[in-house]
Amino acid sequence: MAPDTASTSWQSWLREQVRNGADLGEATLALRRNGIPVPEIAAAFEALRPRDSALASGRLEPPPLLTNPPAALRRADVAGFDLYTLDGFLTPAHCARLAALADDHLAPSPLSGAYGDNAFRTSRTCVLAHLDHPEARAIDDLVCRTLGIRADYGEAIQAQRYDVGQQFKAHVDYFMPGSQEYLRFAELRGNRTWTFMVYLNEGMVGGGTHFTEVGHTVTPKTGLALLWNNLHPDGSPNPLTRHAGEPVTRGHKVILTKWFRVRGNGPLFVD
C-alpha cells in the first residue's frame, strides 16, 4: 500500500509500517519518491523508535504462557531452545473461517533477503492485519493474550497457504545483527523473539515443520499452535531454531504466523 503524502497522513502510514515489521528501506524509498524530504523521514523514524525492551532486565524472561502453563501446552523433546505445542488453540470452525478469510487475499510470500533460489519460498501470504476485519483483529488479540505478550511488541499477523509442491526451505526467523536485513527489518524494533504459528488444517501429505538442526518435525493438526523462541536468553540469535516448511505433496496447508519483537512501548507482558 502506497503512502498518502497529501498531508501528514504519511506519518500514520509509516507508523503502520514500523508496527507491522515492514521493510523500512522500501518505506523510505516510497516516501522519497513522493517528495518527503530525507530529514523529515529521519525525524519520523526517530519519533517512532520504541522506548522499551524485552531485554530491559538483561535477559529475555519467559512469557506468562510458560510461567502459568495450561494442561494442553507441551514442551518438545529438543535440546538448545524452547519449542512448544498448544493443542486445541483454535476450534476447527474457527480455523475454517480464518482460512476462508485469507484465501481471497493471497499474494506470493515475500523474502527478507536474496537467496538466489526461486524455489526457496513458494507459498502465498495474506497479511490479515491489513484487512481491517473483525476476525483478523480478534485472532491477533487472542494470540497476544494467549502468549501473554502485548500487541505493541508484535508484528502484523499473517496467513500462509501452501499448495502441492510449495514449500519454505530451511531458514531462521531472526535477522542476523549487522546484516542488511537487520538494518531494513530490525533496526528500530529489534530482533524477533517468539514465533507463534497455528495450523488451520490437517490431512495433507507433506507440509511438516522440520527443525533441521535438531531433527524434529511437527505434523500439521487443525487448531494446533506451535511456538518457539528464536533467541538465546541474552538476546543473541539461536541458530538451532532453523526450520523448513516441507513441500506439500497432496492437498494443501494453511497456517497463521505472528512474530514478536525485542522492542516496544510500555510493559512487555499482558496484565
The answer on pLDDT for 116 being more than 90 is: no
Mean pLDDT for the chain? 94
**196-248 pLDDT tens trace:** 999 999 999 999 999 999 999 999 999 999 999 999 999 999 999 999 999 99
Percentage, residues of the chain above pLDDT 90: 83
Q: What is the pLDDT of residue 113?
A: 66
CA-CA-CA-CA torsion sign (75, 76, 77, 80): negative
Query: Average pLDDT, stretch 132-148?
Result: 96
Residue 70 CB partners (closer than 8 Å, separation 6+): 86
Distance between CA atoms of 268 and 56, rounded to whole angstroms? 10
**170-200 pLDDT tens trace:** 999 999 999 999 999 999 999 999 999 999 9
Q: Does the predicted model carry a pTM greater than 0.95?
A: no
Q: What is the pLDDT of residue 176?
A: 96
CB crowding 213-252: b at 16 or more within 10 Å, else e = bbebebebebbbbbbbbbbeeebebbebbbbbbbbbeebb
The answer on pLDDT for 161 being more than 90 is: yes
**40-81 pLDDT tens trace:** 999 998 999 999 999 999 999 999 999 999 999 999 999 999
Q: What is the pLDDT of residue 16?
A: 87
Q: What is the pLDDT of residue 118?
A: 86
Are the C-beta atoms of residues 76 and 84 closer than 8 Å to each other? yes
Q: What is the pLDDT of residue 26?
A: 87
Q: What is the pLDDT of residue 262?
A: 98
Q: What is the pLDDT of residue 2?
A: 59
Q: What is the pLDDT of residue 1?
A: 55
Q: What is the pLDDT of residue 5?
A: 57
Q: What is the pLDDT of residue 144?
A: 98
Q: What is the pLDDT of residue 7?
A: 55
Q: What is the pLDDT of residue 114?
A: 58
The answer on pLDDT for 254 being more than 60 is: yes
168 pairs with which residues across the strands? 121, 245
Map out the domains of the chain with their CATH numbers: 9-48 (no CATH), 54-264 (2.60.120.620)
Q: What is the pLDDT of residue 4?
A: 62
12, 77, 120, 121, 242 from 114: Cα distances, Å: 29, 33, 10, 11, 17
Which is higher by pLDDT, 25 or 192?
192
Taking alpha carbons only, the member of 204, 222, 184 closest to residue 17 is 184
